[in-house]
Amino acid sequence: MRGYLVGSGWKDYQKTGEVCGHQLPEGLANCARFDEPLFTPATKAESGHDENISFEVVVQRLGLETAEKLRAKSIDIYNRAAKHAESQGLILADTKFEFGWHGDELLLIDEVLTPDSSRFWPADQYELGKNQPSFDKQFVREYLETTTWDKNSPPPKLPSDVVDRTRSKYIEAFERLTRAKFKWA
């Protein structure tokens, strides 16, 4: 789900004018907010990163009924989460939901609204057209861009300062979203 044009969506838009099969207006800026959030499905690739796909591909693979159910559930969860994040001074720019089947029941199964699966921004620092400060794994991404890692082989060991800064952002996101103090188990 995407509420804003950022990340791989921004890269796709710059190349094709689309994000996951959604034709977008010309002239959008990096981190532009969509009028309505976009259902932007992806599938697990054999290796590497998730692969963005269109709704039509979801229909081909899973059938219309399941595809529509996935889209409706995703939009509902995103809208409720974005509203809650906004009430806590955060923007939910985009997020990933993973669904699976248990018998005949379609279930939300993993990584729900964590900084590993979601891009949260401080609302008071939002500025259209530039990358936003983030509560996700951006510190890790930025570090890895400075290495020779090919994004396919096992990644290099992360320096402790990158781990510490990422941990602190995850904790800050948790505390801002829940208004509870994070406690180590």
CATH of the domain at 100: 3.30.470.20
CA angle 28, 170, 145 (to 5 degrees): 60
Q: How many CA atoms lie within 13 A of 56 on its CB side?
A: 4
Whether residue 48 lies inside any domain: the answer is yes
Distance from C-alpha of 114 to C-alpha of 137, rounded to nearest angstrom: 11
Whether residue 169 lies inside any domain: the answer is yes
Task: Report if pTM > 0.85.
Answer: yes
Whether residue 184 lies inside any domain: the answer is no
Whether residue 103 lies inside any domain: the answer is yes
Distance from C-alpha of 156 to C-alpha of 173, rounded to nearest angstrom: 26
Whether residue 185 lies inside any domain: the answer is no
Whether residue 183 lies inside any domain: the answer is no
Winning range, highest mean pLDDT, from 23-32, 47-56, 107-116: 23-32
Whether residue 147 lies inside any domain: the answer is yes
Q: How confident is the model at residue 51 (pLDDT cuts 50, 70, 90)?
A: confident
Ordered alpha helix ranges (H), 41-180: 55-62, 64-87, 138-145, 160-178
Q: How confident is the model at residue 184 (pLDDT cuts 50, 70, 90)?
A: confident
For residue 147, give Cα distances in angstroms to 117, 131, 134, 136, 142: 23, 21, 21, 20, 9
Q: How many domains does the chain have?
A: 1
Whether residue 38 lies inside any domain: the answer is yes
What is the per-residue pLDDT for 47? 63
Provide the percentage of residues in the chain whose pLDDT is more than 90.
Answer: 76
Residue 114 has which token pair?
A: 């964590």
- What pLDDT digit, counting tens, does each position of 20-46 carry? 989 999 999 999 999 999 999 988 776
Quote the domain boundaries for residue 31.
Answer: 2-178
CB 40 within 8 A of CB 139: no
